[in-house]
Amino acid sequence: MIPSSPLEQPSTSSTPIVQWPRPYARQDAETLHAQPNASRLGAAVAASICVAIGVYGWWGTSVGWFVGAVGLPGAVIMGWRLAPRVLAADRGGAVRVAGWMAIGTVLISDAVVAVVLAVGSAIGAITTASAEAGGLAGPEIAMLAASVIPTAVIFFAFGTIVALLALGSAFPAALVWTVIVRWLAGRGLAR
C-alpha cells in the first residue's frame, strides 16, 4: 500500500513523526463540502457590516458613510474568500483570519479608490489638454492616458500608508465579522 500522506508513513526511528499542518486549500474544500453556502454567508455578513458602518457614519458625521461605501467591495471579496477558512479554523486561527480580513479589505478598498482617482485624473488631463489645444489626436490621448499608471501607483502607495492606519477600525470590524459568521454557521445557515 502506498501512503497517501506523510502521516501514514511507518516510522523506522524512535522519534515520532512530525505532523504537517493541513493546507488551507484542503480545509477550504472540506468546509465548502460540509457547508456549501459558507462563502455566500461570509460575503453577506461583510456587506451587512459595511452597510451598517455606512448608515451609522451617515447619521453620525458628514463623511462617515464614505468608509462603509469604500469598504464594501473589499469586504465582500475578502468575506467570500475567507469564510471557509474562518469556519475551518480554531479560535486562534479565526483571529488570524480576521487579521487577514482587515488587511485585505483595506488594501482592496485602497486600490478601488486609487483607480477611481487615477481615472479621474486622466479624464481631467485629457479634457484640459483637449480644450487648450483645440482637439487631440490618438497618440496624444494615449500618452496622457499612460500617465495615469504612475499616478495610480502614487495614489495607491500613499493611500496604503494612510489606509493601514485604518486597521485600528478595520480589525474590530473583522473580528465582529468572524464572530457573526461562526455564530450563523453554527446555526446551520452555511449549509
- Write out pLDDT tens, residues 120-147: 877 777 777 776 667 666 677 777 777 7
Q: What's the Rg (C-alpha) of the chain? A: 23
Judge whether residue 78 has pLDDT over 90. yes
Give the confidence band of 27 by pLDDT, cuts at 50, 70, 90. Answer: low
Q: How many domains does the chain have?
A: 1
The grid coordinates listed for 20 are 504537517
The angle subtended at Cα 110 by Cα 159 and Cα 37, nearest 5°, is 155
Residue 3 lies in a domain: no
Judge whether residue 182 has pLDDT over 60. yes
Query: Each residue of 27-46: b (16+ CB within 10 Å) or e?
Result: bbeebbeebeebbebbbbbb
Residue 54 lies in a domain: yes
Residue 13 lies in a domain: no
Better pLDDT: 128 or 76: 76
- How high is the mean pLDDT of the chain? 78
Contact status, residue 35 vs residue 185, Cβ threshold 8 Å: yes
Give the confidence band of 180 by pLDDT, cuts at 50, 70, 90. Answer: very high
Judge whether residue 79 has pLDDT over 90. yes
Contact status, residue 112 vs residue 74, Cβ threshold 8 Å: yes
| pLDDT value of residue 23 | 47
| pLDDT value of residue 99 | 92
| pLDDT value of residue 116 | 83
Instruction: State the residue range of the domain holding 87.
Output: 38-186
Residue 49 lies in a domain: yes
Judge whether residue 158 has pLDDT over 90. no
| pLDDT value of residue 18 | 46
Residue 32 lies in a domain: no
Residue 4 lies in a domain: no
Residue 77 lies in a domain: yes
Residue 130 lies in a domain: yes
Q: What is the mean pLDDT of residues 162-186?
A: 86
Q: What is the mean pLDDT of residues 74-87?
A: 92
Task: Give percent above pLDDT 90 in the chain.
Answer: 23
Q: Is the pTM of this model over 0.75?
A: no
